[in-house]
């Protein structure tokens, strides 16, 4: 393959020798060699999580080395509305960790949806709000009712 003259002049401007390229050859790369480092995954907050999101966050590889709080709530539940901002702030504050130092993710499950109702039955949710802590796919602890922020932090310290 022979380069057109307008490309040859561009190559000369870059101080590259113009030459005929064979079909399997390409021009030298001008991109720099970079290395990328992965940072720790940020905390996750999933409002109105579906069954698929629940399964992905609680029972998959993503949950290794993390604590997942699942908040079962309903729209009509006033204490649920008082607890939701506290749980959201916990999920988004990088300084808050569990008692064992694990990062904390939060999922909220609306028990008025068919999927949320089924999950609530599976985990024997009898009152709202109910918050269940999962570690590596297993339920490890829970609390029922709207706790103040200090109460939720005390709950996390026990985990």
Catalytically active residues, by annotation: 77, 80
Cα 113 to Cα 1: distance, rounded to the nearest angstrom? 63
Cα 49 to Cα 58: distance, rounded to the nearest angstrom? 11
Q: Name the DSSP letter for residue 97.
A: B
Contact 63, 57 (CB under 8 A): yes
Strand partners, 122: none
Instruction: Give the CA distances from residue 6 to residues 3, 117, 145, in Å, rounded to whole numbers and listed in that order.
Output: 8, 68, 74
Cα 68 to Cα 12: distance, rounded to the nearest angstrom? 59
CA-based end-to-end distance of the chain: 67
Neighbours of 112 (CB within 10 A): 13
């Amino acid at each position: 393959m022979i380069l057109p003259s307008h490309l040859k002049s561009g190559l000369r401007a870059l101080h590259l020798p113009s030459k005929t390229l064979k079909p399997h050859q390409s021009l030298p790369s001008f991109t720099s060699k970079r290395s990328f480092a992965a940072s720790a995954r940020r905390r996750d907050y999933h409002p109105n999580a579906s069954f698929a999101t629940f399964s992905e966050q609680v029972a998959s590889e993503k949950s290794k080395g993390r604590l997942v709080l699942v908040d079962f709530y309903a729209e009509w539940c006033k204490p649920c509305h008082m607890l939701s901002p506290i749980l959201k702030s916990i999920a988004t504050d990088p300084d808050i960790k569990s008692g064992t130092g694990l990062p904390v993710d939060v999922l909220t499950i609306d028990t008025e949806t068919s999927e949320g109702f089924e999950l609530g039955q599976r985990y024997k949710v009898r009152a709202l709000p109910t918050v269940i802590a999962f570690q590596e796919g297993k339920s490890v602890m829970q609390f029922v009712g709207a706790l103040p922020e200090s109460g939720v932090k005390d709950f996390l310290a026990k985990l």
